[in-house]
Structure formats: C-alpha cells, structure tokens
Amino acid sequence: MSVHDTSGTPDRDPGETDLQASITHAIAHAIEHDQLVLHYQPILDLRTDSVHAYEALVRWNRPDVALVPPAEFIPVAETSDLICRVGAWVIDRAARQLADWNNDTGNRRLIVAVNISGRHINTPRIRDDVAAALQAHDIDPGQLVLEITETVHIDEHAMDHLNELRGLGVGLSLDDVGTGHNTIDQVSRLPLDSIKIDLTYIDPTTPALRETLQQLVDVAHSLGLAVCGECVERDDQLALLRSLGVEAAQGYLLGRPTTAQELDGRLSRQEPPAGEPPSGES
Ligand code: C2E
Ligand code: MG
Ligand code: MG
C-alpha cells in the first residue's frame, strides 16, 4: 500500500522533503474530500459491566487502496499543523455521531473519546475546535473525552489550554501511560480525569510487570484519576484489571473497532458489542 501519491496543489514548507510534502498534501486532500472515517471501539465500565464509552479511531478510506491505519499517516500529519485540521475533523465528526446516537437511543450519557495530538493541544485553536463542535451538535460536554498522547512535546501554553478545556466540561485522559511517551511524571503534572494504560506488554504471569501495573494504578488512584486498561486480549489480563480495582477496560477481547453503522443497530437494541473475528476490521 502506498500513501505517497501527490494530490492537490503543493504549498511547500521550507525544509520539507518531497516525500513528506506529497504525503502531507494527500492527507489534506483526504480531509477535503471526506476520505477520513472513524471507527469506534467499545470501552467497558468494569463497575457495571456495561459499555459506557467508545474510542473513535481514525482511518483513511483511500479510493482503490485498503483502509489506511492511523500509524501510516498520523505521524506525518503531526510534523505540521495539518494534525490540527485532522483533529478538528475528528472532534466534529465524533460530536456529530454522539448527537445522532443521543437522538436514536435517548441516552445522553454515552461517551466518545477522541485522540488529540500534543501539537494540537499546544495551540489555542483546540479550545475553539471543541467549543464549536459542542455547540454545533448540542451534546453534553461530559460526553466528550480528549485522549492526549504526547508524541509531540506538550509546551507551557498547553497547560492553559487543558484548563480551558476542563472549563468547557470535556473529560481529559492521558493515553499510553507507561509506554515511554507518557510517563508517570506527566500524570501528576497535567489536569486530567483519567489515564489509559496499554496492557500489550503486561503479562499477568510475570510478577515484575504486574507490580509495575499496580504502581501505575495506585498513583492514578491516589490522584483521584480513573484508570482504563487498553489492548486487553486475554481473560487473565481482564481479571488482573478487576483485581486492581481498575475502572474500565478496552481491547479485542471486548470488541474491535468498527463502523458507526455497524454499531447503530446494537446501540438501539441495547446489545453488548460482540468481539469480532481477528480480520473483522477493514
Ligand atoms: P491509541 O489511541 O492508543 O489506540 C489504541 C490502538 O490499539 C488502536 O489502534 C486500536 O485499534 C488498537 N487496539 C485496540 N484493542 C487492541 C488489542 O486488544 N490488541 C491490540 N494489539 N491492539 C488493540 P489504531 O486504531 O491503529 O490506532 C493507533 C494509534 O493511532 C492510536 O493509539 C492513536 O495514538 C493514533 N490515532 C488513532 N486515531 C487518531 C486520531 O483521530 N487522531 C490522532 N491524533 N491520533 C489517532
Ligand atoms: Mg487513544
Ligand atoms: Mg492508547
């Protein structure tokens, strides 16, 4: 698969490589031509054993190409302010989807979490993008959670922006805690409501890893933060989360990311999301 075709009219940044420029322009073209799509992955509330939230994950539906995963274009978008346009599109589309689900189900408590780059958080426009989406789609601010991954350094202005976002009433979560990008130090520094811990490398049968997880959970809880364990693929990982008093879980064991259309029927019938077969997402 190639994401390197040039589309649209180039508008060069000095220092940008030809390859980067062509990918950047192809992504800008994708936003303008409505080629981005969101898939939604269920998040299980372990206290009630019900799905209370979905994480919106972007994909690029390139014509004549298999669905492009975010790892193949988000890092390029993050090298320029293009990531803010991607983020604004994601926030608006997720808010619109929430409004549709609110209308269809009459349930205004469902939460959608979106991923926001540190680069977008560093700009004052993050507040405007969130406020515009909340107003345009008339959703409760508490229904929207911003997941922050610090692949781009969060600067000193970001703290003000995060506090403004909290003032709007949206939830803030730190993604990928413990993976190297987001350290335990960040957890105490940022104004957060929750953290997500990636369980990919957490094997419950290894005491040292279990210990690490326990420490992360304890620090979060001591700061009053809820914890979600993600990338849960096995029953023993889920059992470990429960034993540590973790509030939420997400992963292929509980349901794969899927389209909004696929979820519409389940939400209106109040069915729990079924785990899809490994090749289920495309
Ligand atoms: P993330 O936010 O940590 O999202 C979780 C990733 O893990 C998703 O990959 C999801 O499909 C995958 N995953 C979920 N459950 C399991 C599991 O049980 N096992 C395994 N192995 N993986 C699982 P995806 O959708 O490819 O997204 C990758 C990353 O791309 C995201 O990590 C996030 O950092 C970034 N991303 C996705 N959508 C957006 C977006 O709209 N904006 C930005 N800025 N970044 C995004
Ligand atoms: Mg995330
Ligand atoms: Mg994550």
Give tens-digit pLDDT for 76-91: 999 999 999 999 999 9
Which pair of tokens denotes residue 234? 């096995």
Instruction: Looking at the structure, give the CATH architecture of the domain made up of residues 18-269.
Output: Alpha-Beta Barrel (3.20)
What is the average per-residue pLDDT within 140-152?
Answer: 89
The distance in angstroms from the start CA to the end CA of the chain is: 14
Q: How many whole angstroms separate alpha carbon 143 and alpha carbon 48?
A: 18
What is the average per-residue pLDDT within 156-176?
Answer: 94
Q: How many whole angstroms separate alpha carbon 131 and alpha carbon 143?
A: 13
- Residue closest by Cα to atom 7 of ligand 1: 231
Confidence of residue 269 (pLDDT cuts 50, 70, 90): low
Ligand 1 site-directed mutation target among 44, 57, 61, 175, most atoms within 8 Å of CB: 57
Confidence of residue 15 (pLDDT cuts 50, 70, 90): low
Q: Which ligand is nearest to the CA of 182?
A: 3
Evaluate if residue 222 carries a pLDDT over 50.
Answer: yes
- The residue that leads in pLDDT, 2 or 195, is 195
Confidence of residue 18 (pLDDT cuts 50, 70, 90): confident
10 CA distance to ligand 3 middle (Å): 33
Which residues, judged by CB distance below 6 Å to any ligand atom, belong to the binding site of ligand 1?
Answer: 41, 57-58, 69-71, 74, 87, 90, 115-117, 147, 149, 175-176, 200, 230-233, 251-252, 257
- Residue closest by Cα to atom 12 of ligand 1: 231
Q: Are strands 144-149 and 36-45 parallel, antiparallel or unpaired?
A: unpaired
**Does the global pTM surpass 0.85?**
yes
Evaluate if residue 255 carries a pLDDT over 70.
Answer: yes
Distance of CA 20 to the CA centre of its chain: 24
Q: Which residues contact 98 (CB under 8 A, 6 or more apart)?
A: 110, 112, 137, 139, 143, 144
Q: Return the ligand 1 atom nearest residue 198 CA.
A: 3
Evaluate if residue 207 carries a pLDDT over 60.
Answer: yes
Share of the chain above pLDDT 70, in %: 87
The pLDDT assigned to 277 comes to: 41
What is the average per-residue pLDDT within 99-128?
Answer: 94
Share of the chain above pLDDT 90, in %: 68
Evaluate if residue 181 carries a pLDDT over 70.
Answer: no
- Residue closest by Cα to atom 46 of ligand 1: 115
Q: Which ligand is nearest to the CA of 84?
A: 1
Confidence of residue 224 (pLDDT cuts 50, 70, 90): very high
Evaluate if residue 130 carries a pLDDT over 50.
Answer: yes
Q: What is the DSSP string of the chain?
A: -------S---PPTT--HHHHHHHHHHHHHHHTT-EEEEEEEEEETTTTEEEEEEEEEEE--TTSPPBPGGGTHHHHTTSTHHHHHHHHHHHHHHHHHHHHHHHH--TT-EEEEEEEHHHHTSTHHHHHHHHHHHHHT--GGGEEEEEETTS---HHHHHHHHHHHHHT-EEEEEEETSSSB-HHHHHHS--SEEEEE-TT--TT-HHHHHHHHHHHHHHHHTT-EEEEES--SHHHHHHHHHTT--EE-STTT---EEHHHHHHHHHTTPPPPPPPTT---
